[in-house]
A and B are shown apart, each in its own frame.
Chain A
């Protein structure tokens, strides 16, 4: 049982929900201001870390 993998799945989905919310806030143009771009970048970096954990736990 990999609790670490399960947590990473949830964490990644939650982070992607933050991105989804950002898309809603900025609809229809999705023209992000500087602060929103920074939020997006930080969130996507965190998503990558969770995906890396999943690769480590499930694939390697």
Chain B
């Protein structure tokens, strides 16, 4: 069914259980769907934008209150909504990094952190991961020392992913921040896979900046996200424009430079707001989500030859699995080759595994019901059994 000229309606979430690694936490709540219907028009939240004419001051709909509530919820002092986590990285890097500065990222950092550093003229330097695919405080300290020796200056910023996108491992962010602060390096916590799906307390972590993704983990339309910071940094990263037209003499009030004025002017911010009560509630049930993740992982591990590459027992709903010695063996003999696996999953109403993948792949079980979790686990085992793999 088409929803417009050449655009098919998207019914993936209605027709299938979607275990796509990046899509799970961004599925809209029913209230966000309703808000999207009402606020689809471009500048829809600007009907009641009054002086001083900035998004985070709008009272109707209650965007100003939403900003305050977000800050309190994250236990940070100030928040701005941004068009995706990457724009949060960009704002902070643009503020703190000068041309030629070394910036600490990690071996598990998302590419947008590198790009944000590059755009600011910085030079990324990675903290290596350990054998268990973790970034440790000790490794952070070693890297900081090495970078100071190499550049003869202290890096102005360190990025750390709370949960990395490659393995879904939860890292010792508090420990790494403690190390970085010994060198007076401010730390940005990338919470794209944590803010909105699991509890995050910015002050408890010691974070200078917490960045979240609306469309990845806060049940919001894309592109949306947030940048939270402390009073110490807010004045700098949220500085207002000093620009003045030389011909017109115009100035631009309290528009913030890094935000380019206003950020999310319609369905994105309202979608975030509509989902927020659900998001606040769902992080309290993180243990259940992890138990679901564990159940599916255990079902996969019951298939002989399968290995989990993420932490085990699972501590997150995003998991990286190695089926080179199980489903890939089937693929080598199967007439559909690697596509047999996604095809078999689809037959059972499951989608989100990259078609053709039977070697190393990822899945995310966040937000599924008990019944759906059982169906996913049983389907993996059934496909294995039907294709001659041993269940142990």
Contact = CB atoms under 8 A, between A and B. Distances in A.
Interface of A: 10, 13-14, 17-18, 20-21, 23-25, 27-29
B38 A10 contact: yes
15 contacts: A10-B37, A13-B34, A14-B34, A14-B37, A17-B33, A17-B37, A18-B30, A20-B33, A23-B14, A24-B13, A25-B369, A27-B14, A28-B349, A28-B350, A29-B349
Q: Is the interface of A mostly helix, strand, loop or mixed?
A: helix
Contact of B14 (A10, A18, A24): A24
A21 B17 contact: no
Interface residues of B, number: 17
Nearest to B372: A27
A14 B274 CA distance: 13
A27 B34 contact: no
Nearest to B33: A17
B50 interface: no
A17 B36 CA distance: 11
A13 B38 CA distance: 10
A13 B35 CA distance: 11
Interface in B25-50: 27, 30, 33-34, 37-38
A23 B14 CA distance: 5
A13 to B, nearest CB: 5
Contact of A20 (B14, B16, B369, B375): B14
Contacts of B17: 27-28
The interface centre, meaning the residue of B13, B348, B350 with most chain A CB atoms within 10 A of its CB, is B13
Contacts of A20: 14, 30, 33
A13 B39 CA distance: 13
B13 A27 contact: yes
B15 interface: yes
A6 to B, nearest CB: 11
Nearest to B37: A13
A21 B38 CA distance: 17
Contact of B15 (A10, A14, A28): A28
A13 B30 CA distance: 11
Contacts of B348: 28
A58 B27 CA distance: 35
Contacts of A13: 34, 37
Contacts of B375: 28
Contact of A21 (B15, B16, B33, B37): B33
Contacts of B38: 10
Interface string B362-386: 0000000100100100000000000
Interface in B1-34: 13-17, 27, 30, 33-34
B16 A28 contact: yes
Contacts of B349: 27-29
Contacts of B27: 24
A21 B34 CA distance: 11
A27 B37 contact: no
Contacts of A27: 13-17, 349, 372
